[in-house]
Amino acid sequence: MSTIQTSSDSFGVKRILQISGPVFISLMAQNIIGITDTAFMAHLGEVELGGAGMATLVYFCIYTLGHSLGTGTQIIVARRYGAGQHDGIGRVLSQSFIMLVVSAVILALLGGWIAAPLFDAILSSKALSAVATEYMDIRVWGYLFAFISVVFRAFYLGIARTKVLTYNAFVMAIINIFLDYALIFGHFGLPAMGVRGAALASVIAEAGSLLFYLTYTKYKVDKPTYGMTFKAMRVIDLTLMRTTLRLSVYLMLQALISLSVWTVFFILIEKLGERAMAIASIVRSFYILIHVSTSAYGTSVSTAVSSLIGANQSERIHKSLRTVAGVSLMTTVSICAIIMMFPEQFLRIFTDDARLISETIPSLWVICIAMTISSVGNIYFIAVSATGATSKALSIEMATIIGYLIYSLIVTLWAQAPVHICYTVEIFYYALVGWLSYRFISTEKWRDAKWSQLT
């Protein structure tokens, strides 16, 4: 039975890149899907762009519930992997599978039911509300496939076997981009469905993603080694379910609150007009694209910290975090530099409107500054949860979100500031999150048993 490396460089730059590199590529491929969706919607019109963008935000607010349960599962898998308890991983996955399938069915049904009244309530533009509802009515069925895929993602991240995520992302991207083009505009004999076509393309792509995971796992994974046998996985372990939920519930609340408040930010932007909403939707694509590197390195943080604790090598956590933060910073600065050297060329992917391009560039500068701060701050924030102190991560998130909301209300409703001024709220958010997280990790308060949801 193999165990994690114990040499001093097991989580050095090379190992970090081995884990994060494939995740980076997979997330980049996934975000190409988002950029393609945004570009296609922009060519349909500013209302379609803003409406579909708002629906996508709501979709991912709900998706965070499943994703957070997957993150909790990943932490437990990595802890068992680091401790050499490989044959206990299958049971962890099976309990998560049960919880995620039940959640997916409930959320898909609930999401379709509340879409119309929700968008009518939060959006002042009836045109935007109609488009958002049209998109969401189809998009919610993606939960059935996406939530199950979360289990596989947690497994491969937990055992640091991340190349499969790259393969999966490319499969998903190819399916989504092809069907986007075909179903939105009506090519290759398929009907022109507009916004509904974009939603359907995403659902089919998520189904293709799940099919890939199932096929790859069947033929490429030594299932008995990881306890992934029918005998081991058929048992319903309520104790393990409670442990997973206890760890994940804070992650769920943290992610749900964070994304919900981000959605509120865009609702406030919408009050400034459809042009402001169009600018914000385009900038959001760059925000997510630049954030890919930090997210990728964040997965290596979760795996590294959990594995080192599981292997009783927690004294090496600080060095690993400094290394990851340094690599993350350099990567983000490089991406931002490329974008800001050619801002107009990048923006022409979304629109040919010279005025819209000109009004969007200042917001790009603000987002690049925010993402540079995030590249370090978010690494330490992820590390807080990776130690098992998910309740502390939630308290950090809550403290920061209160300030974020107050700041957002001031710059939008009171000052009615330009979009780029409104986006400075992201600089405030990541600076405060990073500082609070660094203090918690550097003082080693996570060692206190009261913070751990794994004890």
449 falls in which pLDDT band (50, 70, 90)?
low
Share of residues in the chain with pLDDT > 70 (%): 92
Is residue 104 within 8 A of residue 66, CB to CB? The reply is yes
d(C-alpha 411, C-alpha 416), whole Å: 6
According to the model, what pLDDT value does residue 72 have? Answer: 86
pLDDT digits (tens, 9 = 90+) for 94-111: 899 999 999 999 989 888
Residue 397, domain member (yes or no): yes
Among 320, 299, 325, which residue's Cα sits nearest to residue 309? 320
According to the model, what pLDDT value does residue 4 have? Answer: 39
Residue 6, domain member (yes or no): no
What is the arithmetic mean of pLDDT over 283-293? 86
Residue 7, domain member (yes or no): no
According to the model, what pLDDT value does residue 222 have? Answer: 84
Residue 1, domain member (yes or no): no
Domain that holds residue 282: 13-451
Residue 338, domain member (yes or no): yes
pLDDT exceeds 50 at position 241:
yes
Task: Give the pair of three-digit tokens for residue 365.
Answer: 């500068």
d(C-alpha 401, C-alpha 374), whole Å: 15
Residue 4, domain member (yes or no): no
According to the model, what pLDDT value does residue 224 have? Answer: 86
Which of the pair, 55 or 299, is modelled with greater confidence? Answer: 55
pLDDT digits (tens, 9 = 90+) for 193-233: 998 999 999 999 999 999 999 999 999 988 888 888 777 67
pLDDT exceeds 60 at position 351:
yes
**CA dist list (Å): 434 to 332, 375, 378, 445:** 16, 9, 6, 16
d(C-alpha 345, C-alpha 42), whole Å: 16
pLDDT exceeds 50 at position 452:
yes
Is residue 321 within 8 A of residue 380, CB to CB? The reply is yes
Task: Give the pair of three-digit tokens for residue 58.
Answer: 């709501």
Give me the chain's average pLDDT, please.
85
d(C-alpha 11, C-alpha 18), whole Å: 10
Our CA angle for 280, 282, 283, nearest 5°, is 65
According to the model, what pLDDT value does residue 147 have? Answer: 93
According to the model, what pLDDT value does residue 163 have? Answer: 84
CB atoms within 10 A of CB 326: 16
According to the model, what pLDDT value does residue 8 have? Answer: 36
Is residue 20 within 8 A of residue 296, CB to CB? The reply is yes
Q: Which of 39-48, 73-82, 323-332 has the highest mean pLDDT?
A: 323-332
What is the arithmetic mean of pLDDT over 242-269? 83
Which of the pair, 2 or 364, is modelled with greater confidence? Answer: 364
Residue 189, domain member (yes or no): yes
pLDDT exceeds 70 at position 337:
yes
According to the model, what pLDDT value does residue 57 have? Answer: 79
Is residue 228 within 8 A of residue 90, CB to CB? The reply is yes
According to the model, what pLDDT value does residue 450 have? Answer: 57
**109-123, 212-226, 232-246, 440-454: lowest mean pLDDT where?**
440-454
pLDDT exceeds 60 at position 455:
no
pLDDT exceeds 90 at position 434:
yes
Number of separate domains in the chain: 1
Q: Cα dihedral angle (405, 411, 415, 419), rounded to 10 degrees?
A: -140
Q: Which three-class secondary structure string do you get for the chain?
A: CCCCCCCCCCCCHHHHHHHHHHHHHHHHHHHHHHHHHHHHHHHHCHHHHHHHHHHHHHHHHHHHHHHHHHHHHHHHHHHHHHCCCHHHHHHHHHHHHHHHHHHHHHHHHHHHHHHHHHHHHHCCCHHHHHHHHHHHHHHHHHHHHHHHHHHHHHHHHHCCCCHHHHHHHHHHHHHHHHHHHHHHHCCCCCCCCCHHHHHHHHHHHHHHHHHHHHHHHHHHCCHHHHCCCHHHHCCCCHHHHHHHHHHHHHHHHHHHHHHHHHHHHHHHHHCCCHHHHHHHHHHHHHHHHHHHHHHHHHHHHHHHHHHHHHCCCHHHHHHHHHHHHHHHHHHHHHHHHHHHHCHHHHHCCCCCCHHHHHHHHHHHHHHHHHHHHHHHHHHHHHHHHHCCCHHHHHHHHHHHHHHHHHHHHHHHHHCCCCHHHHCCHHHHHHHHHHHHHHHHHHCCHHHCHHHCCCC
Among 148, 165, 151, which residue's Cα sits nearest to residue 93? 151
d(C-alpha 407, C-alpha 138), whole Å: 34
pLDDT digits (tens, 9 = 90+) for 373-388: 999 999 999 888 888 7
According to the model, what pLDDT value does residue 200 have? Answer: 94
According to the model, what pLDDT value does residue 448 have? Answer: 67
**30-39, 276-285, 417-426: lowest mean pLDDT where?**
30-39
Is residue 33 within 8 A of residue 205, CB to CB? The reply is yes
What is the arithmetic mean of pLDDT over 315-327? 85
According to the model, what pLDDT value does residue 307 have? Answer: 75
